[in-house]
Amino acid sequence: MTDEDATIRDLLLRTRRIAVVGASDRPDRPSHGVFGFLLARGYDAVPVNPVRAGRTVQGQPVLAGLAEAAPLDMVDVFRRSSEAGAVVDEAVRLGAKSVWLQLGVVDEDAAARARAAGVTVVMDRCPVIEWRRLGLPPRIGQQAP
């Protein structure tokens, strides 16, 4: 296992509350599937999407902004790379311990700012893929098989 693998494994197993920015109530959207996966693993997952505020995703009420979801362990970002920096900066300001930028979402400058503030950053990866690749247990708080 690489150092990066160990970091991702630890992050996924110790995180409890996750805000998913850009979560969608549309089942065909990747954010919808990832959000459901996080709920099924036992996370306290909160959908954040100003366009979908007032609706539900996987039975959870959608919040309009990240501040409403605080306190946070992790912020999982489903936004364009050009929009990710503002979300990362807000996550840092709100005291999130980590920021996860989804597949295809890359902002090196924002990642550097977050790391300088002591925030763990995972970029251009999917927690579902990483969970399966690392052979993590069915739910957080359980032992791996």
Q: Is the pLDDT assigned to residue 143 strictly greater than 70?
A: no
**Range 76-94 average pLDDT:** 97
75 and 47 Cβ atoms separated by less than 8 Å: no
What pLDDT is recorded for position 144? 58
pTM of structure: 0.94
Q: Is the pLDDT assigned to residue 58 strictly greater than 80?
A: yes
Beta bridge partners of residue 81, listed in sequence order? none
The pLDDT tens digits for 112-141 are 999 999 999 999 999 999 999 999 999 998
On whether the 3-133 domain is CATH 3.40.50.720, my answer is yes
Other beta carbons less than 10 A from residue 112's beta carbon: 12
Confidence of residue 82 (pLDDT cuts 50, 70, 90): very high
What pLDDT is recorded for position 2? 83
Domain borders along the chain are 3-133
DSSP state letter for 143: -
**Range 88-110 average pLDDT:** 98
For residues 137 and 145, give the distance between their C-alpha atoms in angstroms, rounded to a whole number: 6
What type of residue sits at position 121? Answer: V
